[in-house]
């Protein structure tokens, strides 16, 4: 909640294939962005920072059983 940037980075074979960064405190906007990334890339596995608001984002994303969510 301290104003850090939200970074989304998609990795394939140790290479970043997609990167987005934005600032928001709206957890559902972040969940929506992750779903968009999934739709665009086919990625269904997520590793999320689960400290602070990240926990709520991970929990919300994990409600959809298509996604495998790992807490970091």
Q: Token digits for 7?
A: 């970074």
Output the tens digit of pLDDT for each of the chain's 72 residues.
556 788 999 998 899 999 999 888 889 999 999 999 999 999 999 999 998 889 999 999 999 999 999 999
DSSP state for residue 44 in the 8-state scheme: -
Q: What is the pLDDT of residue 5?
A: 85
Distance CA 60, CA 30 (A): 10
Q: Are β-strands 15-22 and 45-48 bridged in parallel, bridged antiparallel, or unpaired?
A: unpaired
Q: Token digits for 16?
A: 């970043």
């Amino acid at each position: 909640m301290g104003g850090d940037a939200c970074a989304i980075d998609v990795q394939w074979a140790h290479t970043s294939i997609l990167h987005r960064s934005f600032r928001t405190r709206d957890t559902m906007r972040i969940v929506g962005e992750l779903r968009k990334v999934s739709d665009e890339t086919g990625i269904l596995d997520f590793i999320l920072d689960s400290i602070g608001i990240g926990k709520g984002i991970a929990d919300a994303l994990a409600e959809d059983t298509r996604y495998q969510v790992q807490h970091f």
